[in-house]
Amino acid sequence: MRQQQLNTRGFDAYRTHLLREERAPSTIANYLRAIQAFSAWLDGRAVTKELAAAWKEHLLARGQAPVTVNAKLSALNGFLRFSGLDGCRVKLLKLQRRAFRDGSRELTRDEYQRLLDAARSRGQERLELLLETICATGIRVSEARYITVEAARRGRADVSLKGKVRTILLPGKLCRKLLKYAKKRKTAAGEIFLTRGGRGLSRRQIWREMKGLCGQAGVEPSKVFPHNLRHLFATAFYRATRDIARLADVLGHSSIETTRIYLLATGAEHARQLERLGLVS
């Protein structure tokens, strides 16, 4: 097996490869961050399977969550395959399927409403409408650019991601609010959620604005991030339809197993379910 030292040229080539694969910008950033961390840990040593396995142990020793470790290993394995170093790839950790999720990070419907109220009282109309749009449709924050004037008029948005196109239906009430906001901002066509300079909102800006609502809304900052709005949509949709296959299509999941993670009960809910079994005298 040939050995190879990691270098910036290889990272740039892999970035280009990921772009051609139409990976999301956030995914590319995460992959490259993991690979660069591995490179820094190597400290100039050539890549070997033994060192790749040692890095896995290093991440675990630092107390990183198994899910986080697997995400970094997946990024590294993809890069090693691209670099012709298949023999250096390492196995992911085997994770037992979770029966429930951490309720301390669960955004409730009441907390969501308090965030909307806080945005409204602060005069942050764009942020309030963006939160409603994500939560009412289940789109990813990176897909907000597909919410256009044309989409609001049609009542649906065609979202393209990872080489797949899916159609998102927009509730009528939401469409009316989007068009009213666009008219107020004199946006006749194209993206609705724009900066004052006419550019699309960045993920970082959306995160920062959302976190700014926490104090007034009385919601823990650990619960306030765009993806939690998507989770809230998923649980509300499933409770209304009980159709996990349809929900997977709406969310753009290629596997129902991914959708199932969204629907896990919280630890408190799981405990109540156990109590209702009545198996303790």
Residue 232's pLDDT is 92
Residue 14's pLDDT is 93
Residue 23's pLDDT is 80
What confidence tens digit (pLDDT) does each residue in 265-280 have? 554 555 666 677 776 7
Residue 275's pLDDT is 76
Residues of the chain with pLDDT under 50: 1-2, 267
Residue position matching structure tokens 């197993």: 257
Residue 103's pLDDT is 61
State the DSSP string of 56-117: HHHHHHTT--HHHHHHHHHHHHHHHHHTT-GGG--PPPP-PPPSEE-GGGPPPHHHHHHHHH
Pairwise CA distance, residues 28 & 22, whole Å = 10
Q: CA dist 155 to 147, 161, 173, Å?
A: 10, 20, 10
